[in-house]
Amino acid sequence: MSIEEFISRITAPANNQPGHLLQYLYEIQYRYSCVPQRAIQLLAEKLSLTESHIHGVIGFYSFLHDSPRGDYDVLISDSITDHMLGSRSLLDALCKKLGVVPGVPREDGRVTVDTTSCTGMCDQGPAMLVNGWAVTRLDENRIDNIAELIESATAVDQWPDEFFRVEDNIQRRDILLSDDSNDGAALRSLIDKGDDAILEQIEASGLRGRGGAGFNTGMKWRFCKQTEADQRYVVCNADEGEPGTFKDRVLLNAHADKVFEGMTVCAGVTGATKGCLYLRGEYRYLRAPLEQILQQRREAGLLGNTILGQDGFDFDIEIHMGAGAYICGEESSLIESLEGKRGIPRKRPPFPVTHGYQNRPTVVNNVETFMAAALIAVHGADWFRLVGTGQSSGTKLISISGDCEKPGIYEYPFGVSIQDMLKDCVAKDTQAVQIAGAAGFTIPPAEFERCIAFEDVSTGGSFMVFNQDRDLLDMVKNFAHFFVHESCGFCTPCRVGSSLMKDLVDKVHSGHAGHYDLDEMQNIGQLMRSTSHCGLGTTAPNPVLDTLEKFPQIYEKHLKHSSYEPAFDLDAALQDARDISGRDDAGAHLGTES
Ligand SMILES: Cc1cc2nc3c(=O)[nH]c(=O)nc-3n(C[C@H](O)[C@H](O)[C@H](O)COP(=O)(O)O)c2cc1C
Ligand code: SF4
């Protein structure tokens, strides 16, 4: 098929909508290993967009490229828990075997090896993506096999199935994961009781968003319902980019029906007729099974027009793929992305619930929130409130990884102590737990009595364990680099602040920093917190500020107790000039006589 035919084929179903640009680019990327200039020209014509707009979108997303990446695009997860499992040496080994430098396509165009932010496989890492497909449990043996498969030009769909096995790893079930209600039960309850009664139940349940911010779900739905509009939307946020979080992956693999049912209940309550699941690009392998479930639901009358025979109850769901941008988990960036743009967070207010997708009222909820809402519609508010604490009703799914014997998914009633969780996952000699991902909290042993709850330690679901053998500064460094990579660059405090913070952390790590640098880290961190445009920038300094306060010893042991040393090594920067001039005498170095 020619590129012209291919582009006509992929753009036709959505009627050449510019809002679908990201989806078209995603399809093109995986067919041609990049988005070629010819494709950009064709899309620009078909969608009435400028080529520069399309280049801008490609440049924003890590998984899109306008120059070839190699037939095999290998991206090894750079998450801290994968580092702890040896991913760095596996990356080096693979590069050596294939004769490549990270990030640079091999001369014959066969392969590129690079790193990527957390792939959501921390319970079965080290992990990587090859042409977008997740490969888990890397070890030396698997790396050898992968190098051979690439050298022998074996198509990725011919690689052994076990390489792509992703397990659910559910270690503890509570009211959500053990529920066995039938498909459609929540919708039948909605039809029997009426949308007002169901909304009252969601409100009375005290359900709060499971994606991190903890906003009251019933209130969000009511705002959407009450806003005058010709169209409303329901969006499920399955971007799950927070390092160390993988519970939405498991819900979508094992309980997608309940998630879709929760979205449909939300549509029935708010009057929305269109829905979208925004699925992170790293979960490409889930797309086909999810499409199949959507189709089965249409055939069963649980989705589409006249749901369960109810006139006027029309709602359908599309899947949109993300393309490697953590910021697109932030709800307004996600909506920008859904509209085919760069995922730059919007100014808020107005909030998406009144001015969201296409400027219409839009409910954006996390995967787990929709599943909980579906089950509240079935069993009622009291059933939910019976579990958890006064301010945090129900349960929370926690993704546990790092130094423990039983990583995986644990569903706990809110109020569970960190201590009890560490016992359950068999963690020994724990030095610290990082909760709520890179932007979260570093908890020392003295605080292990604290509880997971909105009123105490609040989390979207990440729980990473670090034992006494770890240098916590490695973790801080990893997160500092993560934020530089993931900052969208829109506002100066975050764009520049995260970069300065990374340089300072690197300086401490390499043993060149003094107390002056620690003070600088405090200043920059506070500035980012108070002046950044969105939640990414305001929370990015958390790991540094938290560890400076609670783990000062991890900095002290790296500090240089002499006079101030500049962060920029001017002498090293002169190396190119020395090479060109062929000089390496004392006079060609700074701080020496000429
Ligand atoms: C940088 C950033 C990344 C986020 N990533 C996610 C995410 O991956 N998944 C998610 O559900 N919410 C994420 N959120 C929170 C969303 O903005 C939003 O609050 C959430 O989707 C609302 O759903 P909930 O009320 O059900 O939690 C993120 C927020 C920020 C600031
Ligand atoms: S805080 Fe960071 S991610 Fe948010 S808008 Fe500013 S630059 Fe972008």
Q: Are 418 and 379 in contact (CB under 8 A)?
A: no
Q: Whole-angstrom Cα distance, residue 261 to residue 176?
A: 14
Q: Across the beta sheet with 274-279, what order do the strands follow?
A: 316-321, 274-279, 233-238, 362-366
Q: Name the stretches of the chain with pLDDT < 70.
A: 561-567, 591-594
Q: What is the dihedral of CA 370, 372, 377, 379, to 10 degrees?
A: 160
Q: Is the CB of 133 within 6 Å of ligand 1?
A: no
Whole-number Å distance, alpha carbon 331 to ligand 1 midpoint, is: 6
Task: Give the per-residue pLDDT at 288.
Answer: 98
Q: Is the CB of 209 within 6 Å of ligand 1?
A: yes
Nearest ligand (C-alpha, residue 485): 2
Q: Whole-angstrom Cα distance, residue 379 to residue 480?
A: 44
Amino acid at 577: A
Protein residue whose Cα sits closest to atom 10 of ligand 1: 211
Q: Whole-angstrom Cα distance, residue 396 to residue 553?
A: 33
Task: Give the per-residue pLDDT at 573.
Answer: 85
Nearest ligand (C-alpha, residue 240): 1
Q: Is the CB of 325 within 6 Å of ligand 2?
A: no
Q: Is the CB of 465 within 6 Å of ligand 2?
A: no
Whole-number Å distance, alpha carbon 529 to ligand 2 midpoint, is: 11
Task: Give the per-residue pLDDT at 561.
Answer: 65
Q: Whole-angstrom Cα distance, residue 510 to residue 474?
A: 11
Task: Give the per-residue pLDDT at 594.
Answer: 43
Nearest ligand (C-alpha, residue 331): 1
Protein residue whose Cα sits closest to atom 8 of ligand 1: 240
Q: Is the CB of 327 within 6 Å of ligand 2?
A: yes
Task: Give the per-residue pLDDT at 399.
Answer: 98
Q: Is the CB of 541 within 6 Å of ligand 2?
A: no
Q: Is the CB of 480 within 6 Å of ligand 2?
A: no
Whole-number Å distance, alpha carbon 492 to ligand 2 midpoint, is: 8
Q: Is the CB of 491 within 6 Å of ligand 2?
A: yes
